Amino acid sequence: MRATLLFTLSLACAGSAWAQAALPVPAARAPLEQRTERIHIEDAGARIEELRVGGETRAIEVQPKGGMPAYQIAPASGERSWKILGF
């Protein structure tokens, strides 16, 4: 009975060690490249430039026609912000 118990335990340890060695390591994978898109839309009232990385909008800039200042829109909140002094 003791020999059977030792044999079963040794098989369990060997099986778990083999299973751990067969699993891929996530850190060893190469990072996926994300597609970058720059979208330009223009009509009679404004020009809109949008930057998307991996399908997610990162930046939106609006340039109204007629001499009005350009502004940015935060994609997450929709808030507008203007650059006062641009150098």
What's the pLDDT tens digit per position in 34-79? 899 999 999 999 999 999 999 899 999 999 999 889 999 999 898 9
Q: Is residue 72 part of a domain?
A: yes
79: amino acid identity, one letter: E
The helix/strand/coil state of 84 is coil
- Whether 4 maps to a domain, the answer reads no
Q: Give the confidence band of 32 by pLDDT, cuts at 50, 70, 90.
A: confident
- pLDDT at residue 3 is higher than 80: no
How many structural domains compose the chain?
Answer: 1
- Domain membership of residue 56 (yes or no) is yes
pLDDT-based confidence at residue 12 (cuts at 50, 70, 90):
low
What lies within 8 Å, CB to CB, of 72 at 6+ separation is 59, 60, 61, 62, 80, 81, 82, 83
Which range marks the domain in which residue 76 is found?
Answer: 34-87
Residue 9 has pLDDT above 80, yes or no: no
C-alpha span between 58 and 42 (Å, rounded): 19
- DSSP letter, residue 54: T
Beta bridge partners of 52: 37, 57
